[in-house]
Structure 1
Amino acid sequence: MIYLDNSATTKPNPAVLNSFQQVSERFFANPSSIHQLGGEAEKLLQRSKEQAAQLLQVETDEIVFTAGGTEGNNLAIKGIALEHQKRGSHIITTQVEHPSVHEAFRGLERLGFSVTYLPVNENGVVAVEELREAITDDTILISIMHVNNELGSVQPVEAIGEIAKEHPKLFFHVDHVQGMGKVPMKLADSGIDLCTISGHKLHGLKGTGILYVKKGTTLFPLFHGGGQEKSLRSGTENLAGAVSLVKALRLIKEREIAGIRHMYHLQTIIRQKLRTMDGVFINTPEQAAPHIINISVPGLKPEVLIHMLGEKEIYISTKSACSSKQTDESKILAACGHGRDRSTSALRISLSYDSTENDIHVFLQELQEAINRLKAVME
């Protein structure tokens, strides 16, 4: 099997699975229980937060464990909007966000908030000056992803963070789900107030995640109840999930430098071969994250190519896994100015540290053969 759909999800690391099972068996008590077993579970939860904070180089009480990227994004965006709506009702994002961000903003518009959807250039990147000009006295939130999940475009979050520092009234949220482990990003003293991380993109488990909440940032909770996670996320904590996520994060951090270099090497091989394929267009810009390459083959249905490759046990995807079963065009490619011929025929190849050169060579050969066969049928 050759798995090249790592932006949708990654294969769990065996060590992560083992940590989840061990904690589930030994520390099954509720961390809120006052007996000894509950106390042991609570200590392990606190230790996990401390370790996550060390890995992310932030403070322990700035870590909130969540169920993943969608919850983290919703808690950050709606939490700020609802908590600070008396200070302003204007919020800023881009036209190329993940559905969990885009739909959260659409929902806030129904509640009366005003949203500016910043345009992007042909590479899928926002203009920093346009963002600066979009800020008003009524702006309370900027939410911009670090790495685009379809194209791999990298947004200038460092520069945006500096702008955010100039406006202490507003908050800056970064969706770092696709960036973690692929494009390093500093959190402390960056101007970033909230940052979303998802476990299953890091060879961790689905249903695990972290929301970084900078000290002093207040949110309206999505869940009310027993007051867990500093009342930001009530509900019995997923202790085994939290421990396994920290394990996955540590393993990624240990391999990060070499892993990023390896994926850039593989991306170079892919780009060189794709440029020789007639009728194939590379949509991902040259200056992009190392793990994503988006291409279009106009005239051919992407789902047919995906199924043909799947028969060879080679797995790629179209757009975001959250919307890949919809047959409409990629709104990301459309926002970059591509016509429907390319925005409706896109394919996404996404790598991991464990992808091999042999995997890539076999995939490229099978992709070329699949394209040739489809074109022959159409002639």
Structure 2
Amino acid sequence: MTGTRRRIRLLIRKEFLQLRRDPLLLRLLFIMPVMQLVMFGYVVAADVTHLPTAVVDLDRTPVSRQLTSEFAASDYFTVTAHPQSETRLRPLIDSGQAAIAVVVPEGTQAALNRGEQAQVAIVVDGSDSQTASLGSGYATGLIANFNATRLAGSGADAALGSAPGLDARVRVLYNPSLASINTMIPGLVAVILMISIMVIMSQAVVRERESGTLEQMFVTPIRPVEYLVGKVTPYALLAAAQMAVVAAVGLLWFRVPFHGNVLVVLTGLGLFMLTCIGLGLLVSLVSHTRAQAQQAVMFLMLPTMILSGFIFPISSMPAAVQPVTYLIPARFALKVMRGATVKGAGLVDLAPSLLALAGYAVLIFGGAVLATRRRLTE
């Protein structure tokens, strides 16, 4: 028994010594759980707050202005636009400047004064079914409270069905059934593309370095540029084929409607693919073992999945966290995929997201290529 305990102690000591010789892996093991706790603690929430809201006030009366003030004062809504007509709503929603709109038709106060109900339209963007469902619920609840306050102030009985008040009518754009699968599948295409490319590319250089074939390869006349092109091209082609298969399954099996332009989708996914390839290469360069590369990929995946808006709506995140989401390239890829697929948004509407993806592609993929060339020529 004494010999057994001694051998176990020696093995435990050996494992700790190996971990100490691998500082990157050791740091990741301690940082990752803390990062998970902080992110899930702050980001996971059931409420959606500060929804960008457009108010179309066609009545321009004290009642309509008071209703607008109620929406502006609520933590659930942030009034960002006051379009002059309902026809200007769709461009605002397509570009993401508004996620919900309130339309107060002309003659609203006159109808209330006559003791009649007046309809108020609540227009929501169905491309994010969770946000649309919660936002429409908050809006109808706010209008119900507005009715109760107004009737109480006038001395009327709010319980009477004949009491005059505002009647909120919800209208959903792009995804009338609010089926979550219609918004989930386009996002999954981008997420699966990211996961597959980063997992494979993160092993690309480190695997050859571990086996010793990298040094043998550069004894041959091959140049760093040729090595890079030959290394990246097969994975890019595989990713494109995988993306096509996933998209076909989503459209044909799950019956997800496609309302957009194929060129817009391919442009967005192509830029995002370059970004993912660049991230995978950078991980492979800084990692000395495949275990390190796997941990580093998981470390990058965690904020990407949580902060991109794929699982949790960005509008439900704390105000201090929302600016951080602009550092996540997947946020813009999801916006392009959902905007083009569900809304049918075009290049003009999605230009900010496409430009952001282009910037990340140049920065990350270009940086990874330069870093790889430098490492290979050392």
Instruction: Sort the TM-score into its range (normalised by shorter chain).
Output: under 0.3
Compute the TM-score of the two structures, normalised by the length of structure 2: 0.23
| Higher relative contact order, chain-length normalized (CA < 8 Å, sep 6+) | 1
